[in-house]
């Protein structure tokens, strides 16, 4: 087992390069199944979720080769086995994108119920509603989601909730279906647009991605392509908040500033200065962190995946901030960990009141999920003394080289091995 050890406080300064978007990569890699031929995907983040998806593809018979650290070639010509087993699927949510992609390619799919971060119940009824509307039969048996069809037909689908996953999965199934599919109340996140651009570069006909109505004309065949993934909005936002939280001065490069607007707005309200360039943003803070209120919402609202990091910063604000989670039922599990560092936060359902304190003090904590782990890092950078973060595999699912990137900004963070405790050894 490994943990991160951080010595704080520190002011982050310098430049950091943002990697390709995790949540686009985890949709685009399964989408390569739909091509007749090779796909070369560039700007792929070097994170464990990507490694796992590539293993799933190989398990199905695809050839996957890394041409560089961030470029992967996927050839699914000889795909034989439309099954994603439990051992692989249980580690991540996006494994379920193989359902839509395999339905589109092979008319059948068997994918174990997915894992991923735990924010309470994570239903998939909207995915199933979409597949069934297109003529697929879906059953759940022995922990496997099985979907099959003779022919998939375009359909008019109204999603009851705005769901990134359902929008992506049904879009994957629809690109090779017969006829037109219309998705209403679709999610609008940048990774939805990126997936649509990737599929269109393979010959798909998708219009309206990025709005709440997406129209897909099914095509008979998709060809291979070369495509570069967009920069990661959430990784960029995480470094923006880390810069502001530490009172630092950081130029965050390889970003799309438009994708960061809701984060920029909240940071400016909290006393940071954000300067936008064509493909970079510079974040500085000289005065105190000011209290703010925020509510997470689907894009273009403030992203739920930035909520824990922002809360970590607000622990040292002047006054009480109110943070409302508008997407997930239970995304405040990490608050107990922040309290170990001296944060004063009370939670009532989906609302947290963060009473700013003059300082945090280092302590051992856990990463309870991916973004909660990023919040622990930010808190560790602010806190006086040593913060040790366990369960860092959550963080490494989604942040490329976070230790290297932070250390180059002046942080003192190390990844160290922890021997099993005598209790574990005795088991």
Contact residues: ligand EPU, CB under 6 A = 23, 26, 93-94, 117, 122-127, 161, 163-166, 187, 304-305, 327-328, 370-371, 398
Nearest to 79 by CA among 45, 138, 139, 39: 39
For ligand EPU, the closer of residues 110 and 233 by Cβ is 233
Q: State the nearest-atom distance from the C-beta of 70 to ligand EPU, in Å.
A: 19
Choice between 100 and 224, CB closer to ligand EPU: 100
Residue pair 58/82 in contact (Cβ under 8 Å)? The answer is no
Question: What residues form DSSP beta bridges with 217?
Answer: 180, 205
Please tell me what DSSP assigns to residue 116: -
Instruction: Please say which residue, 35 or 164, places its beta carbon nearer to ligand EPU.
Output: 164
For the bound state, the minimum distance from the C-beta of residue 398 to ligand EPU, rounded and expressed in Å, comes to 6
Kindly state the smallest distance separating residue 371's Cβ from ligand EPU, in Å. 5
First to last CA, the chain: 16
What is the side-by-side strand order in the sheet with 137-141?
83-84, 108-112, 144-148, 137-141
Q: Which residue has the tokens 């963080």?
A: 395
Compare residues 127 and 291 and give the one whose CB is closer to ligand EPU: 127
Phi, psi at residue 63, to the nearest 5°?
-100, 125
Least distance in angstroms from the C-beta of 352 to ligand EPU:
17
Helices (H), ranges, 92-138: 97-106, 125-133
Is residue 239 within a helix (H) or strand (E), and if so which, with residue range?
helix 233-245
Which residue's CB atom is positioned nearest to ligand EPU?
Answer: 165
CB of residue 32 to ligand EPU, shortest distance in Å:
16
- Of the candidates 413, 398, 7, the one whose C-alpha atom is nearest the C-alpha of residue 236 is 398
Radius of gyration of the chain (CA): 22
Question: Within a 13 Å sphere around the CA of 358, how many CA atoms are in the beta-carbon half?
Answer: 0
* Contact between 49 and 92 (Cβ < 8 Å): yes
Q: Choose between 95 and 225: whose C-beta lies nearer to ligand EPU.
A: 95
Nearest residue to 84 (alpha-carbon basis) of 75, 74, 76, 92: 92
Of 39, 54, 106, 117, the active-site residue reads: 117
- In 3D, which of 261, 270, 264 has the Cα closest to residue 314? 270
Q: Considering the complex, state which of residue 4 and residue 119 has its C-beta at the smaller distance from ligand EPU.
A: 119
- 117 catalytic per annotation: yes
- Minimum CB separation from ligand EPU for residue 328, in Å? 5
Structural tokens at position 376 = 């622990």
For 130, how many CA atoms within 13 A lie in the half-sphere containing its CB?
30
In whole angstroms, give the CA distance from residue 80 to residue 16. Answer: 41
Q: Give 74 or 170: the residue with its C-beta nearer to ligand EPU.
A: 170
Distance CA 288, CA 84 (A): 50
Query: Which residue lies nearer to ligand EPU by CB, 93 or 340?
Result: 93
Other Cβ atoms closer than 10 A to 85: 16
Give the separation between CA 130 and CA 159, rounded to whole angstroms. Answer: 8
**Angle (CA) 244 248 253, round 5°:** 80
CB of 270 to ligand EPU, least distance (A): 22
Q: How far is the CB of 305 from ligand EPU (least distance, A)?
A: 5
Active site residues: 117
């Amino acid at each position: 087992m490994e943990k991160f050890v951080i010595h704080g406080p520190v002011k982050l300064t310098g430049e950091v390069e943002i990697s390709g978007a995790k949540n686009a990569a985890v949709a685009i890699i399964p989408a390569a199944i739909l091509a007749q031929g090779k796909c070369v995907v560039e700007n792929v983040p070097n994170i464990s979720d990507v490694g796992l998806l590539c293993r799933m593809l190989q398990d199905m018979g695809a050839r996957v080769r890394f041409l560089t650290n961030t470029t992967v070639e996927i050839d699914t010509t000889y795909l034989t086995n439309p099954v994603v087993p439990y051992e692989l699927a249980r580690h991540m949510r996006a494994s379920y994108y193989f359902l839509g992609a395999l339905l589109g390619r092979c008319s059948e799919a068997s994918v174990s119920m997915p894992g991923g971060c735990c924010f309470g119940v994570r239903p998939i009824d909207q995915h199933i509603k979409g597949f069934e509307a297109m003529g697929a039969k879906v059953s759940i048996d022995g922990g496997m989601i099985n979907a099959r069809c003779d022919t998939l037909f375009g359909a008019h689908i109204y999603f009851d909730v705005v769901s990134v996953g359902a929008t992506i999965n049904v879009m994957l199934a629809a690109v090779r279906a017969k006829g037109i599919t219309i998705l209403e109340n679709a999610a609008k996140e940048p990774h939805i647009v990126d997936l649509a651009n990737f599929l269109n570069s393979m010959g798909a006909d998708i219009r309206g991605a990025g709005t709440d109505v997406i129209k897909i004309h099914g095509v008979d065949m998709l060809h291979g392509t070369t495509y570069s993934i967009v920069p990661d909005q959430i990784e960029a936002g995480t470094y923006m908040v880390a810069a502001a939280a530490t009172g630092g001065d950081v130029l965050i490069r390889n970003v799309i500033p438009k994708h960061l607007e809701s984060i920029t707005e909240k940071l400016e309200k909290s006393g940071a200065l954000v300067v936008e360039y064509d493909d970079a943003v510079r974040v500085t803070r000289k005065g105190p962190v000011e209290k703010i209120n925020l509510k997470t919402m689907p894009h273009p609202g403030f992203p739920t995946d930035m909520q824990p990091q922002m809360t970590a910063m607000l622990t040292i604000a002047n006054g009480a901030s109110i943070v409302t989670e508008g997407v997930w039922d239970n995304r405040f599990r990490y608050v107990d960990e922040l309290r170990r560092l001296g944060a004063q936060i009370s939670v009532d359902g989906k609302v947290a009141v963060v009473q700013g304190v003059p300082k945090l003090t280092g302590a051992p904590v856990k990463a309870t999920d991916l973004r909660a782990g990023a919040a622990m890092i930010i808190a560790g950078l602010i806190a006086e003394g040593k913060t040790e973060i366990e369960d860092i595999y959550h963080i490494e699912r989604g942040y490329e080289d976070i230790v290297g990137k932070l250390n180059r900004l002046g942080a003192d963070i190390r990844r160290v091995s922890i021997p099993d405790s005598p209790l574990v050894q005795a088991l």
